[in-house]
């Protein structure tokens, strides 16, 4: 988006799977935006500049692998996406 910022990625093994965290120091999301983040076609971008399918598609892929995805966000401070994938069947 033409703004300076950082993205941090870390992973850790857990007894029952792997956890991956992707965090940025961007604009963050309001509680209302966060509540709708996984809705298909929901976007915070201007009309015609975003499809609103990114997080919905990511969630569907994670769920297809029996995993989970959670978002935590603070307006003005950034967002963290935490993905968990189980290793046991």
Residue 55, φ and ψ in degrees, nearest 5 = -70, -30
Report the alpha-carbon distance of residue 42 to residue 7 in Å, rounded.
Answer: 23
- Does the CA dihedral 49-36-29-19 come out positive or negative? negative
Per-residue confidence (pLDDT) for residue 3, from 0 to 100 = 76
pTM (2 decimals)? 0.86
Given a contact cutoff of 8 angstroms between Cβ atoms, the answer to whether 70 and 82 are in contact is yes
Per-residue confidence (pLDDT) for residue 34, from 0 to 100 = 93
DSSP for 18-71 reads EEEEEEE-S----HHHHHHTTSTT--SSPTTS--S-HHHHHHHHHHHTT-EEEE
pLDDT one-digit tens code per residue, 15-74: 999 999 999 999 899 999 999 999 998 887 777 777 777 899 999 999 999 999 999 999
2 band by pLDDT with thresholds 50, 70 and 90: confident
């Amino acid at each position: 988006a033409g703004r300076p910022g950082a993205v941090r990625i870390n992973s850790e093994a857990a007894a029952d799977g792997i956890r991956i965290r992707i965090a940025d120091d961007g604009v963050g999301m309001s509680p209302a935006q966060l509540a709708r983040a996984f809705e298909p076609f929901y976007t915070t971008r201007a009309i015609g500049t975003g499809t609103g399918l990114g997080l919905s598609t990511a969630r569907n892929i994670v769920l297809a692998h029996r995993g989970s995805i959670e978002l935590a966000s603070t307006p003005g401070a950034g967002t963290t996406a935490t993905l968990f994938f189980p290793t046991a069947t």
